[in-house]
Chains A and B, each alone.
Chain A
Amino acid sequence: MQRILILGAGTAGTMAANHLRKELGSEYEITIVDQDETHYYQPGFLFIPFGTYQPSDVVKPTADFLRKGISYVNGEVASLEPTANTVLLADGRTFGYDHLIIATGTHPTLGETPGLDSDEYGKTVHDFFSLESAVALQEALESFKEGRLVVSLIEMPIKCPVAPLEFAFLAEAHFTDLGIRDKVEIVYVTPMSSVFTKPVASEQLGDMFEQRGIHLEPDFYLERVDAEAKMLVSYDEREVPYDLLVTVPINMGASFVGAAGIGDELNHVRVDPGNFQSPDYPNIFALGDAASLPTSKAGSVAHFAMDTFVPNFVDYLRGLPMKHEFDGHANCYIETGHDKAMLIDFNYKTQPLPGKYPVPGIGPFSLLEESKVNHRGKLAFRWMYWNLLLPGRHLPVSSEMSMAGKDTDLA
């Protein structure tokens, strides 16, 4: 009996467990560990502050999505000893493994930014990356009728890198719909030099902030938050005042990753970007946001990765070479407000380009362009997530990025 241990029952861990259970016989035992008995549909958190989704729309029991033959353990990982092939849980239980898959994600870490974790958190300072924080922000937005809303991206990488942009766009639409747009100033603070950094996206979308009257504060590296003075202070002493602050706190992987010596400086697991294997320990793999990869931290990446990861992992188990190479494919909707959205499609090598997706020339989705169909696609995706993606059923789109349907003249 070979023991496969999966840490984390989020998007990547759940999909991997289900796919592997289908592929592997009973000589392989599959155990999955997660501290949360609730599975969250994280892309839905964005809609909660605006009342589009209710909390009940984004939660289901973790165990409901695991196929028969997968053992689910509810517990928190305390430490990993990669030389002993063991994982210790916070409650003292120890699990040995022959093969380990780390899928513990990445999480907002307030303590990394001085002044962020204060009594004001949940009052004038917010994020929307957990259900609780999204609900608190919904209440804050409801009573926010005038003043300065600052959306602050602190440092890359973050999970769902377009989320802060989407929040700014949806906030603009929200205040416009309420008829108080002229009373609310919206400021977007980012450490990057522009809203969009890839050449074609920058060219196509560079004026989206101007059109919406959103003020951009670029090259702003946040050093600390002065919650009392309601002020963001950068490393080069620039100050941005706010009445309501919506941050994306620094995202970090699980601390046991750093302690085990297999992570980067943000505790994301170092892996081969083509097959997700740790360069340090060949029986350790990392999937989804937990992995340090030169592509977006997004559910779509975890999903597209399965088509190469699963056959590779099966070959690896049989002592064969891993033949498939993941291309870094990511595909993200960007909500732009007023019931419209954009879609971007890219990989390790190809920047987001305009065109149609998934059927070349037809769509129905438009790449790098706003449309109502894109927005309906984003809303419809929640059903696909629960019913097709997590259980490990196939979606009617290719996992490998395609150049067909893209306007390559612009690249």
Chain B
Amino acid sequence: MPTTAIADKEIQVDAEGFMTEYDEWDEDLARVLASNIGIGELTEVHWSVINFLRADYVERGETPTLRRVSTTGGIPTKELFVLFPKKPARKMAYVAGLPKPVGCI
């Protein structure tokens, strides 16, 4: 696995830059990751999405889907597209330091 330095920290990432070590993540990193993908400021709603994602990952062992974030996390899909434009599933996983959501092939 490649590593990269973000905010003076050496972190492990996959080929597309998604973090691969859950415990290497912290809130300062999240702000840098967000700005990497053009999200200037993380609002309270952004944080509630991020916190849900990380808590759910611990419980379920996989990155939650958009549907799960809306039905269980309580943030409507429409709003996720405003918070993390165009590719919310990938972007929110990236900022939350979780593996990229995947298909089968």
Contacts and interface: CB of A to CB of B under 8 A. Distances in A.
Nearest to A162: B105
B78 A223 contact: yes
Given A193-B90, A219-B87, A236-B85, A346 B104 contact: yes
A199 B15 contact: yes
B86 A265 contact: no
Interface residues of B, number: 21
Interface in A279-296: 294-296
Contacts of B77: 221, 223, 235
A200 B32 CA distance: 30
A385 interface: no
A344 B103 CA distance: 13
Interface in A305-335: 330
B68 interface: yes
A192 interface: yes
Given A221-B66, A236-B85, A265-B68, A161 B78 contact: no
Contact of B86 (A219, A295, A346): A219
Contacts of A139: none
A256 interface: no
A70 interface: no
Interface string B70-105: 011000011011000111011000000000001111
Given A223-B78, A235-B77, A236-B85, A161 B103 contact: yes
B72 A193 contact: no
Given A219-B86, A221-B81, A235-B78, A201 B105 contact: yes
Interface in A16-57: none
Contacts of B104: 161-162, 198, 295-296, 330, 346, 352
B92 to A, nearest CB: 13
A235 B81 CA distance: 7
A352 B68 contact: no
Given A162-B104, A196-B105, A219-B86, 8 more contacts: A155-B65, A161-B103, A162-B105, A197-B103, A198-B104, A198-B105, A235-B77, A344-B105
29 contacts: A156-B65, A156-B103, A161-B104, A161-B105, A162-B104, A193-B90, A197-B103, A197-B105, A198-B102, A198-B103, A198-B104, A198-B105, A201-B105, A221-B66, A223-B78, A235-B77, A235-B78, A235-B80, A235-B81, A236-B85, A264-B68, A265-B71, A266-B67, A294-B62, A296-B104, A344-B105, A346-B105, A352-B104, A352-B105
